[in-house]
Structures are given as C-alpha cells and as structure tokens.
Chains A and B, each alone.
Chain A
C-alpha cells in the first residue's frame, strides 16, 4: 500500500485557502488545517461586541472551512510571538500597519515547525501570484519560502504551475498537472472552482481578515504607541482599539466611549482596571480612561462624556466617576457643545 502523504494547510477562513486544501484532498493527500490567531484577526470580534452587527452569523470562517473540507483544524494562539512581527517588520508595512510579508513568513515558519513536530510532509497555502500587492507579488513568493525555512516544502496549489516545482511535485507526492495556474487579482477563477467543488456561502472574497490593514484601526495603534512612548501592546490594548469612540483631549490621556449597548457591556469588563465614567442622570455611554488623570482632567472628561449622553442639550448632567480602586463619586457638569469637542481629538 502506498504511503498517504500529509499536508498542513494554512486556513485563514477565506476562499483561497479553502480551495487550496480541497485541491490537495482531491489528490488523496491527508490534510489538516492550521489557523493562527494574532489578536488582530477580524473574525468575530466586532460582531460579538456590537449589537448592530448581531444580525450577521457569528461563525468562525476557519472552522467553517475545515468543516466543509472535513478536516481537523488546529487553532494556534500566536499573540505574544506576533508582537515582534508587528513591531519590527524586516520588510516594512503595507498601506497601514500591516506587515503582510513578515506575517506570511512568520506563519509559514510556524507551520514548518508544526509539520516537523507532527510528522507531516509539506505545507500548503492559498496564495495566488499577483493577487495581493505586498505578500503575493511574483518576486516575493520565493522570499516567503526561503525566509520561512520551508523552502521546497511549501506548495501553493492555486498557482503552482506558475512557479518552480516543489518537492511534493518533484517526488510525485502530488500530480503537478492537477494543480492550478491562477494569477492576478481576478477572482473569477476561484469562484468558478468554488462552484465546481460545491462550496457556497464562503467568506466574502473581498473581505480583509486583519485589523492592521484598516486605516482607522492602524491610526489608533500608532496613537497608542506615541502616547506611551513605546511600541508595545497587551492583548487588552488591541481588543479595546476595536471598541468605542477614541478621543484624546490631552496628550497624556484618552477616552474610550462606548457607542452602543453592546460596546458598553463589553467595556464593563474593563472597569476593574480602568478609571471610568458613567452617566447617572441620563442614559449615556460608559467611558474608560487610558492614562494618568487628575481631578480637573476627570471633570473635563465628564463634560465630554455628557456630550454623548441623552442629556447632551441639558444644562446639567450627573455622572459617576470611579478612579482606580477608590469609591465612586458623582459630579454634575454642563456637557460640552458639539463645537467644543475638537475634531483633532478623534483618534
């Protein structure tokens, strides 16, 4: 009986990785998926927090892909290790804070370690030559293979015919003739293949999967680093960048103001570690304060928070302030007018 070769597939939850894994399964390869969680994955978070998104299904697309394929999926937490990729990307950033090439190299390197530990034969990805401006350019695909250490054990089934042969092809583990030659940004070939395989309801091909490609998110991250005077972050920091309105009225403190009930509820979990303000006399948001503040700053912050409450047009709004582990106290303030909330405060 001939050996069944085993491939680890990087599964993002998008269409390309789904198709790449399916192409391998069709050749009789044993495939298991690996999905890396960086902390910046768009999957689920915002939908889980914000009430207005609750009509959307809360499925995890990587799990969904694995289920469609009938393969196991190993979700790997790389939040801590990923910091170095984001903070010191050798190949720099894309349009925002997205270190796409370093990210891909890092993930393929982790996959290489995984196949060695789990006795798998090679790695597959859903990369398509020329599809993405940073990490999938023709001249950069070999960089991923080389710098990750995967070398010729990295096979891209969707564009393999445009690339030099890899070990799985040369050794006859897979049939190169049955691999594909997709290239460029046109998604129609992938959609046609999805139809051929009977995949429906897959994640939107145009959807980004990483918050670091989002301009608003990236600017909040840069602001965080500038305010702290160091390029570092904790998991809670990157979660809170996804939530609320961020206003920095003074360089040394920032307000995170919930925009709706779902966000207020999520932020409630952080009230034990953040100084926070809640409206008392009127319905209004919860506000977390990031940075050292004195009593005057807190009163000013209360005026800003009152601006986002139901009492924004009243002369007086009462708010409760809880600082560190002290007992809460109440203040009554006049809300700032719309003009007094400066545009440049918005991060």
Chain B
C-alpha cells in the first residue's frame, strides 16, 4: 500500500475527475491518492465517482482556495 499525489489545481470539472479516474486505474487496491483541486465542483464529483466505482473518500480538507481529497483505492 502506498500513497500517491495528484495536482488537479486550475482544472475545471470534469477534468479533475478524469485525472483521478485515470490515476486510480494505475494504482493497487489499498493505495491512497491525495488529489489537490481548486474547482469546488470536485466536492460533489470526486465522491460521486468514488461511490459509483467502489472506491472510498477517506478525507476532505478545504483550505483557502484549495480542496484536498484523499481517495482510497478499493
């Protein structure tokens, strides 16, 4: 199990979701991916994508204009 990061700042939805999806597809079950975004749309879209595809959102942090979402690959 390893931790990975993804910079999706300045991207507007659905691009952060697409980048997350493509990255998660390369990872192993149990790995985590920390995605940093600026589009508030990700607050709905990344959790929705995770629910649909069976992955887990472990944590969501909003600080200043950035949103950090931690996804666990299931």
Contacts from A to B (Cβ < 8 Å): 35, 37, 41, 43-45, 47-49, 57-60, 62-64, 66-67, 71-77, 239, 265, 269
CB neighbors of A among B7-26 (8 A): 10, 12-15, 17-18, 21
Note all chain A residues with C-beta closer than 8 A to B14. Answer: 35, 37, 41, 43-44, 60, 62-63, 75
23 contacts between A and B (CB under 8 A): A43-B13, A44-B39, A45-B12, A47-B41, A48-B39, A48-B40, A48-B41, A58-B13, A58-B41, A59-B48, A60-B41, A63-B14, A63-B48, A63-B52, A64-B48, A67-B52, A73-B53, A74-B21, A75-B14, A75-B18, A75-B49, A265-B65, A269-B10
Q: Give how many A-B residue pairs fall within 8 Å (CB-CB).
A: 70
Distance of A44 Cα from B13 Cα, bound (Å): 6
Nearest chain A CB to B33's CB is how many angstroms away?
Answer: 16
Question: With A48-B41, A58-B43, A63-B45 in contact, is A71–B52 under 8 Å at CB?
Answer: yes
Question: With A43-B13, A71-B52 in contact, is A37–B18 under 8 Å at CB?
Answer: yes
- Known pairs A58-B44, A60-B45, A75-B18; list 17 more (Cβ under 8 Å): A44-B12, A44-B13, A44-B41, A44-B45, A45-B13, A47-B41, A48-B12, A48-B13, A48-B40, A58-B43, A59-B48, A60-B14, A60-B48, A63-B45, A67-B52, A71-B52, A72-B53
**Interface presence of B4 (CB below 8 A):** no
Note all chain B residues with C-beta closer than 8 A to A49. Answer: 12
Most buried by A among B17, B21, B43, B53: B17
Nearest chain B CB to A74's CB is how many angstroms away?
Answer: 8
Distance of A95 Cα from B52 Cα, bound (Å): 36
